[in-house]
Structure 1
Amino acid sequence: MTQRINYMQQSPEFFKKIMELSNAEKESSIEEKIRHLVHIRASQMNGCGFCLDMHVKEAKIHGESELRLYHVSIWHESTLFSPRERAALAWTEVLTKLPEHGVPDDIYNRVREQLSEKEISDLTFSIMAINAWNRINVAFKTVPGSADAAYGLTKAGLS
């Protein structure tokens, strides 16, 4: 695969803004472990190899187990995720592939049982950010693993 264009060079002002949003996630009410799961699940759903590769490596570096990483795509059937993590994954799925008639009340109510209003709001911005990254990296065919050295992802020990 060959990258189509380098969007960072072509639109540095927009790149800076989306990086600011992504960096702000680190200060949100959503814990890092859940942010990793959300980034991985949205990237799987959107077919974004670059982001999936990056976020799996980040999660591994931050202590996520390989088995849980394998189970993200089957989280509905897996027993490895807490109710809070399951709520975040459900919210990720419904916002990544919006239903024709919007977000169903039953999904919102299940999420609301596990997360505060602030956490739901912060999580929604996190999902918005990863979906934006997925779209630009899919559009321009960013090569998975191409930024490993720049982002310190080689220490994940995955190759």
Structure 2
Amino acid sequence: MTQRINYIQQSPELFKKFMEFSNALANSAIETSIRDLVSIRASQLNGCGFCLDMHVKEARIHGERELRIYHLATWRESTLFAPRERAALAWTEVLTRLPEHGVADDIYERVREQLSEKELSDLTFDVMAINAWNRANVAFKTVPGSADKAFGLDKANLA
């Protein structure tokens, strides 16, 4: 795959601001392990190889088990995810692939059983961010693994 343009070089000020936004999410009410799962799942749904590669490596660095990463594509059938994680994954999927008539009340209510209003709000910002990153990297065909050294992802030892 050949990258189309380097959006970081073309729009450095916007990239910097968006990185600041994304970095602020590390202090959200949502734990790192769930943020990792959300980033991987949204990237799978959006077909973003760059982000999928990055977030799998981050998850491994953060201690996520390989089998849970393998099961993410079929999280509904897997017994490896807790109710809180399932709620976050359901919310991720519905916001990543918005239904024509919006988010159904039953989905919202199921998610609200597991997450506080603050957590749900913060999770929504997490989902917004990964979807935006996916769109930029899919649009410009960013090469998976091309930023490993810059982001310290070589520590995952998954090359």
Q: Indicate the TM-score class for this superposition, using the shorter chain for normalisation.
A: over 0.9
1:92 alignment partner in structure 2 = 92
Matches of 1:78 and 1:42, distance apart in 2 = 18
* 1:37 CA displacement: 0.2
* 1:8-87 equivalent positions in 2, closer than 5 A: 8-87=8-87
Q: Per-residue deviation at 1:13?
A: 1.6
1:46 positional shift: 0.2
Q: Equivalent residue for 2:147? A: 147
Q: TM-score, normalised by structure 2?
A: 0.99
| 1:132 matched residue in structure 2 | 132
CA offset at residue 16 of structure 1? 1.2
What number of residue pairs does the alignment pair up?
Answer: 159
Structure 2 partner of 1:113: 113
Give the superposed CA RMSD: 0.5
Q: CA deviation at 1:21?
A: 1.2
In structure 1, give the amino acid aligned to 2:82: S
Q: Which amino acid aligns with 2:107?
A: I
Stretches of structure 2 that go unaligned for 5 or more consecutive residues are none
Distance (whole Å) between structure 2 residues aligned to residue 114 and residue 77 of structure 1: 19
Q: Which whole-Å deviations, capped at 9, do the CAs of 1:66-115 have from their partners, x for residues lacking one?
A: 00000011001000000000000000000000000000001000000000
One-letter amino acid of the structure 1 residue matched with residue 157 of structure 2: G
In the alignment, the residues of structure 2 paired with residue 91 and residue 108 of structure 1 have an alpha-carbon distance, to the nearest angstrom, of 8
* Aligned amino acid, residue 119 of structure 1: E
The whole-number CA distance in structure 2 between the counterparts of 1:155 and 1:118 is 33
2:2 is aligned to: 2
Aligned partner of 2:136: which letter? I
Distance 2:153 2:118 in 1: 31
Q: After TM superposition, where is structure 1 displaced by more than 4 Å over at least 4 residues in a row?
A: none
Give the Cα separation in 1 of the matches to 2:21 and 2:79: 32
Q: Which amino acid aligns with 2:69?
A: L
Alpha-carbon separation, structure 2, partners of 1:26 and 1:39: 13
Superposition TM-score, scaled by structure 1 size: 0.99
Shifted more, 145-154 versus 91-100: the winner is 145-154
The offset of 1:17, in angstroms, is 1.5
Q: For residue 93 of structure 1, what is the amino acid of its counterpart? A: E
Q: One-letter code of the match for 2:127?
A: I
